Amino acid sequence: MAMTTAADLVVTTLGPCRLESPLKSQLESRQTTVHSVGETDRVLFHDTVNLIRESGCDLDSLPSFEPAGPRQKIFFDTAKMRVGIVTCGGLCPGINNVIRGIVMELSFHYGVQRIYGFRNGYQGFVGAMKIAAVVAKRDGNIAVVGIPKTIDNDIPSIDQSFGFQSAFGEATKSIQSAQVEAKASPNGVGLVKLMGRHSGFIACYASLAVPDANSVLIPEVPFALDGPNGLLEHLLTRVRKSGHAVIVAAEGAGQELIANEATGQPRSFQ
């Protein structure tokens, strides 16, 4: 994996911010909890001293992010500003709250009156990159802003994507139900399949919150089905000992075990 550099995290701007923010009075008041973000401040990409040392960079050259939050100066004249909101991908818990928060902030704090929603959406980040490319080609004063939306929590460099906590919280109920059903049947086996094609965060967090699962299968950790250390032998031993078992599997777990339709050999995944 290539080393992340400061240049990789630079956000393209439309130009210098010269207009006073509509939040100016609130930002300057000591009676409010709204605080402005320093224009030159950054959030470091590396979060440990050892990683910073290993990077070999001085402070100004370290890879870093722009901090989120209101600024003293802004680029757009909010009285003339138009905003369009579009969602993409699958359904996600909390998305209505995010849309509402954007609309309320724009309307009541920034005074934006023209806010539009687009039906049918577009194809994720690829659609957003294409829009940004066309805007740049036409030299338009249009900003394209993306908000991470995935319940799988599989976006690097962020703590949690919205929708994730709701997803694994609901998943705990399924695990509890599977455990009750498995115990109610002789040699019962409960199987809970959760979302997570490339990452097993939902499966892991839910299983930690409700410790009823005997096996947790995630895409990041390959496993064998057969043999003395295989899943099937472990499952059989568990059922013989306790009379039941519960398995939690992320949807992408064990993909390397699925035979390639063309060759009949196990698939190879990068």
* Residues carrying an active site annotation: 152
The H or E element containing residue 52 is helix 49-55
Q: What is the greatest pairwise CA distance in the chain?
A: 72
Calpha distance 123→127 (Å, rounded) = 5
Calpha distance 142→136 (Å, rounded) = 9
Calpha distance 112→119 (Å, rounded) = 21
Residue 145 DSSP SS3: coil
Residue 41 DSSP SS3: coil
In sequence order, which residues have a C-beta less than 8 Å from that of residue 252 and are 6 or more positions away?
196, 197, 198, 199, 200, 218, 219
CA neighbor of 121 nearest in space, from 98, 94, 91: 91
Q: How many CB atoms lie within 10 A of CB 200?
A: 27
In sequence order, which residues have a C-beta less than 8 Å from that of residue 59 and are 6 or more positions away?
none
**Residue 259 CA to its chain's centroid (Å):** 30
Calpha distance 38→41 (Å, rounded) = 5
CA neighbor of 60 nearest in space, from 124, 133, 100, 5: 5
Residue 162 DSSP SS3: strand
